[in-house]
Structure 1
Amino acid sequence: MEKLSAMCGKFSLSESEENKFQVQDDLLGEEFLLAARFFTVRAINIEAIGRTLKLLWRTKKGFEVRDMGNHRVLFIFSDETDLDWVLKGELWTFDKHLVALKRVEKTVNIQEVTFDSTRFWIQVHDLSIRSSSLIVAKKIVSLAGVVDEGETKVEDPENYNFMRVQVAVDITKPLCRGRKISTASGKKGWVNFKYERLPNICYGCGRLTHSDRECLAWTKNEDLLRMGVRQFGPWLRASTPHPFKKSVIQVEGYEEDSIPVDTSDIPDVSVKDQRDKARIIDPHEEEIGEHGGEREEVDREVESLGPTVVQRTDLAATEITEVTSHNNEVITEINNNADF
């Protein structure tokens, strides 16, 4: 398509071909466009793309998918918030290959759109204790691309043992594997970068735009992919941290974890006092008098176990008393009605 556009510039146009048509914006309707480039050599199936991305994007309203050729796809949304949601959720892949996105206007030719960046969550590992701050991590990882200040969260460093920064990475260049650092005391070190949701990558040159077998550098030198010679590898991948699984927690001290309560006006009532008060209003106290010795012994044992056990024991004793009283009434009625 690009070659054809270049050829048209050299054509000698006829009078009818020179007659321009003015496209009105109102003819295009209220639509929001998102262009995509699928970095794979395989033929793309537009129906499979629609089914897969419906599950991944979970938009409020539907969207249209158009195959524009040359592994370029146009997504048309009727709701702008759906388009913003998709862009916020980058990075996206299809069949483990990178899908680069770019918002476009209606007047743009999609074949002329340049897809040269995508957003990653980059984990910054092996920072020294003194350097473990989000401000320092942003400055270090700026070597890998443009830091997204809006999406990088301040609370992340409190949850993980690494720094986590969102960066717009230039996909036309090899991925940045890390960065040398030096401290004020002159001590030197190396900080590792790891990429969340990393798609297929060329282990020969470190680019996301093609696989190993399609790499020109690899075809010239097959030794680049030997394990001992690889400059890039699976160690660049990082799993997305679980939001509820923390590797860093804050433990409060005894003077911090609760607010002191003034108990001067609260009477000190022991478990024994509570039991004695319960006996005064217990209507079945006389019926179980013959078991008083055993009951007092149980009370002493329960008292040593705490108030929770007292409550459960008292409830069980009340139920037993009610059952015993009911049985006695039934026996008395049977004896009165018995014909001896």
Structure 2
Amino acid sequence: MAAPEITDRCAQLTLADVDDEGISLQVPDHTVDDGVEDDGFYAVGRLVTDKPVRFAYFQDTMAGVWRPAVGVNMRELQPRKFLFRFYHDGDLTRILNDGPWTYDQSLLLMKRVQEGVDLESIPLTHADFWVQIHSLPVGLRSASVVMAIGSFLGTFVSTDERNFDGGMQTFYRVRVSLDVVKPLKKQMKLKRDSGEWAVVDFKYERLPKFCFLCGVIGHGDRFCLKALQDCNLNAVKPYGSWLRVNPGRALPNQNQCWIPPESTIERRRWISPVMAEAASHTVDIHGEGSEIQGDRTTCMQPTVSMDSDELPILNIGDQKRRRVLQSASIGQASASVSIGESTYLDNNGVPAGLAVQARQDQ
């Protein structure tokens, strides 16, 4: 910026003491252009905890969990508040859709930063969760009912496309945006057309640390105000770990290739090992054997031929193996084992075994 231009702009400014009332100054917005194009995609995040966080450990952990294809840079704006810079929109979109994320059992709230928006004006109070709806009675199992339940839980985002695809569903999934300063909802009452009431239960996927007394995410029972107000600490707590969807132990997958998906759409694309074998190989029977045309491998049935002056010969394809005949002479001091024209005896004059003979042949 030239010196005369700076002088002209400063001449238009009015300086006043902060205690003077009724004096305001309107300054036109001016964006500094340094000539370098910003190719980043930004997000701002906040950890819902009051514990101190070591930024170096946080950065290393989250980068290892996210594994962005084009990389990510992080900067600590305030204690427990961070700025993330990704270099591809696909990385940022994937990470936001795969949330919520946690660090040291604390929830990480993340929001995309739009161009021209001040970071301080972005609210970091909501997080998207997948919630499972259990005990939904027959007659109320529809997409509209699931969407209505999602709006009851929080701000509706989406539903699982596999909810009503013909599978044997025991629960239904809905993605909602939850206000983390409000208690989690445990159940909901639904009224049928007949006037009867039905109660559905909720379970939250990837639910971080929350209080079993007040149901708010971000602290435990020991640091809750209700723990000080309620003297009976042995009473049954209104919340519990049953609100979480436990990942459980690793399930066996050795024979999963024989179990088709329950989803109708996915099952139509599923192929069993037998179906895959039939699709990739064509089996033809020719005479004594069978020839697999798919991989050009010949598998001939074995045949045995016997000549009067020769040993029995086992023919497998083009390979021949000569049988071993043992002959023992009764009344003789020693016995011999003959393979062709060779005879092997051990050190004591006893016929050597086949394994010993094989070593001697080598």
Matching of residue 236 in structure 1 with residue 235 in structure 2: no
Q: Secondary structure at the match of 2:65?
A: helix
Deviation at 1:127, TM superposition (A): 1.9
Shift of 1:114: 1.3
Q: Would you say the 8 A contact 1:143–1:176 is kept in 2?
A: no
Tell me which protein shows more helix as a share of its residues.
1
The separation in 1 between residues aligned to 2:216 and 2:197, in whole angstroms, is: 28
* Residue 308 of structure 1: aligned partner: none
Change in Cα spacing, 1:227 to 1:28, as seen in structure 2 (3 Å) is farther
2:163 is equivalent to residue 163 of structure 1:
no
Q: Which of 297, 310, 330 is equivalent to 2:340?
A: 330
Match status 1:24 vs 2:23:
no
1:139-158 to 2 correspondences below 5 Å: 139-149=148-158, 152-154=160-162, 158=167
List gaps (5 residues or longer) in structure 1.
Answer: 1-8, 260-268, 276-280, 292-315, 333-340
Cα offset for 1:217? 4.1
Q: TM-score, normalised by structure 1?
A: 0.65
Task: Give the conservation status (yes or no) of the 8 Å contact 1:134–1:154.
Answer: no
- How many residues get paired? 275
- Given candidates 178, 193, 200, the residue that maps to 2:209 is 200
- Match of residue 174, structure 1, among 174, 179, 183: 183
Q: Give yes or no for the alignment of 1:82 onto 2:81.
A: no
After the TM superposition, which residues 5-44 of structure 1 pair with which residues of structure 2 at under 5 Å, given as runs?
A: 22-24=30-32, 29-44=38-53
Structure 2 portions without partners, runs of 5+:
1-16, 276-284, 290-301, 326-336, 343-362
* Residue in structure 1 matched with residue 305 of structure 2 by the alignment: 284
Change (3 A) 1:152 1:288: farther
Equivalent position amino acid for 1:238 in 2? V
Shift of 1:288: 10
Supply the RMSD in Å over aligned alpha carbons.
4.5
The answer on whether the counterparts of 1:30 and 1:78 sit within 8 Å (CA) in structure 2 is yes
Identify which of structures 1 and 2 has the higher relative contact order when contacts are C-alpha pairs closer than 8 Å and 6+ apart: 1
Task: Report Cα offsets for 1:151-197 as digits up to 9, x if no partner.
Answer: 62226872652112222212222111121123334432211100011
- The structure richer in strand per residue is 2
Tell me if the contact between 2:154 and 2:177 (Cα under 8 Å) persists in the aligned partners.
Answer: yes
Residue type of the alignment partner of 1:152: D
**Pairs within 5 Å for 1:105-144:** 105=114, 107-144=116-153
TM-score under structure 2 length normalisation: 0.61
